[in-house]
Amino acid sequence: EMAGLSESRLGLLFTLNGLFVVLLQFPITRLLSRLSYTTQIGAGAVLYFIGYGMVGFMASFWGLAGAIVIVTLGEVTMSPPGLTLTSRLAPEGRTGRYMGIRGFFETVGWSLGPMYGGFFLDSLGHKPIAAWMAISSLALVAAAGYFLFGRYLPKRFNEGT
């Protein structure tokens, strides 16, 4: 049992994430295609902040399922424009290198995320709202960074075709 959920319920939450990625990826990408890439990525980061921040408030399976849906919306909002922007910023002949560097830093985040989250859950576990807001705060910092970056990035890199 983890976070008051059985293994089967926890597995159902992960399944919900995967199912919504498959169902929503194309419609969300199409819906947001008129926005700049940095705006899409920043909006996705805000959704991550909201979804992970909600976890501290939730005490039921359905509340956590709602948080997972919001996190998944953040995922499908951020991922395609993030990859597109990376490829557009790469000089000719260097796309693979840029994608590799992007992948490296994404993996660093996956690797350090549990340590960062574990630190706050250990330190603030008796205050779940504070712990999860601290955990989700990095997404808000990232959103601000992307919105700011978008103000300075030339339009030829940042706008859809």
Q: Quote the pTM value.
A: 0.90
pLDDT in tens, 11-39: 998 899 999 999 999 999 999 999 999 99
Q: Which residues pair with 5 in a beta bridge?
A: 2
Looking at residue 142, its amino acid is A
Averaged pLDDT for residues 141-151: 97
Which secondary structure element, helix H or strand E, spans residue 121, and what is its range?
helix 95-124
